[in-house]
Chains A and B, each alone.
Chain A
């Protein structure tokens, strides 16, 4: 039975996920994932064709950590701030007590001169479990309708 508290808790997790990216708190964003979490961004074009190629693939949390360390220390990318807008989530409970959550997102990027573009639109397919620090993502598959990446994709969606 999906009690109201659980729905609030899942919505809070989704909100925190977006806010930490939007506020560039990517090191804290990592805490929302379990150690064995898989984070993946794939284009809807490939999904529709049954092709496995991702745009970004982290098979565990260490690969996610490496991405963030690389962003902070190695990579050069477009200066921007992110802003996420989420739809209401669809939540289904699995037999093991975990949740399958799907949520539509829009992600806007704004450059230092204040020009905003719609950077990506798509759907989160999340697997949410109860971890050591409350609810966490064990899997997050971002299926992006916006397969034509504008310039480049550096920060997570």
Chain B
């Protein structure tokens, strides 16, 4: 694609303190970012090894909007390849998960093995010398497009890029360490959730890099006197500023008198939960973090909200719609009682989450309001302008600018340069 994306919109600030709304709403931008971001030099989250423990186990997933099969072959090797028949483009594997000896397209029965190679074409030679494919058709040239796969502590990533830094360098130390922390021993899958969000996917990656909204939009914990935004917390970034980890280490129930909510109508209530058990954090790591939300560029989030552990994968559908696919897990050695505790605590998160349901609505109302205002700009100035660095506060949206600076680099946009 040869769209001159630079000339589409005005980028008045080199530090991405202004984002043109058209970047969220333009279908041309969406098409280009499939190619330059999701299929560019990035590691996309694909799934967890625990989901495909046996040879032949597969899951159908998506990288951006490209359908992908993730499976394990009979030797135990994990492979990922595009779930689109080389023949006429049909979905090959239609089930969301299962166990297969091969993946066979239902349309004309083309058959692919667990490495994505084309192994069978019915009537390739025709019948009695009539029909069939030309003599020079080579099956080995028509496999399913593979992704290169890399695995860290059971977490599977994949890339379409030929040239890219190794996974651990891409993640950088704080994020590789975070994955080692959250996947420190064998896990078990507790279940999935799916959420359709009616807005651009980058409004969600913004949301995740804007901890400032946490104590203003999501008022559950504040209303019930459980947490405040002015507690110990902050944001860690990788060396390029493209990934972000919002973290909090909270002291329950100790608030200052002047807590920053003066003059607003929020955060002033004496309400108490009748059953607070869903909030009881059971310390399970050597550190004091009880909330860590690590957003890896471009498509995934590893979350620990109390004892609720999950991975969220962003699956784009169009400029104005995406799916959040949630995989919840616990540890294989959890007791039945700990399983129950994690399920109880899952009430906090997901599309019905007491501390997270608002995001679906916030993204929808932004997308609806910015349609048709492509050359106006969002303001990104909490935490200040200029360089993108680690933040020792949650009252910041600096990590958002880190995402955009790297995104612009991949897209071929120079912020601040006159169009």
Contacts and interface: CB of A to CB of B under 8 A. Distances in A.
A55 B339 contact: no
Contacts of B191: 43, 46, 49, 51-54
Given A152-B195, A152-B352, A57 B346 contact: yes
A26 B253 CA distance: 29
Given A70-B224, A74-B223, A148-B194, 11 more contacts: A51-B190, A52-B190, A58-B347, A59-B275, A62-B275, A63-B274, A70-B354, A75-B219, A147-B194, A151-B197, A152-B351
Nearest to B97: A49
Interface stretch (B357-365, B385-393, B407-415): B357-365
A90 to B, nearest CB: 26
B96 interface: yes
B192 A66 contact: no
Interface of A: 41, 43, 45-46, 49, 51-60, 62-63, 65-67, 69-70, 73-78, 147-154
Contacts of A78: 360-361, 364
A148 B321 CA distance: 13
A53 B198 contact: no
B217 interface: yes
A153 B359 CA distance: 11
B256 interface: no
B196 A149 contact: yes
B344 interface: yes
9 contacts: A41-B352, A45-B192, A49-B192, A53-B191, A53-B343, A55-B351, A59-B275, A76-B219, A78-B364
A151 B352 CA distance: 10
A53 B190 contact: yes
A149 B220 contact: no
B360 to A, nearest CB: 4
Interface of B: 96-97, 189-198, 217, 219-220, 222-224, 269, 271, 273-275, 278, 323, 328, 339, 343-344, 346-347, 350-352, 354, 357-362, 364
Given A53-B343, A153-B351, A75 B192 contact: no
A49 B193 CA distance: 13
B275 A57 contact: no
A148 B195 contact: yes
B352 A154 contact: yes
Contact of B344 (A43, A59, A151): A59
Contacts of B224: 70, 74
A15 B126 CA distance: 62
Nearest to A42: B191
Contacts of A153: 351-352, 357
B194 A73 contact: no
Contacts of B275: 59-60, 62-63, 66
A60 B343 CA distance: 14
B271 A69 contact: yes
Which interface residue of B193, B328, B350 has the most chain A CB atoms within 10 A? B193
Contact of A76 (B217, B350, B352): B217
B343 to A, nearest CB: 6
Contacts of B198: 150-151
A52 B357 contact: no
A121 B386 CA distance: 50
Contacts of B346: 53-54, 57
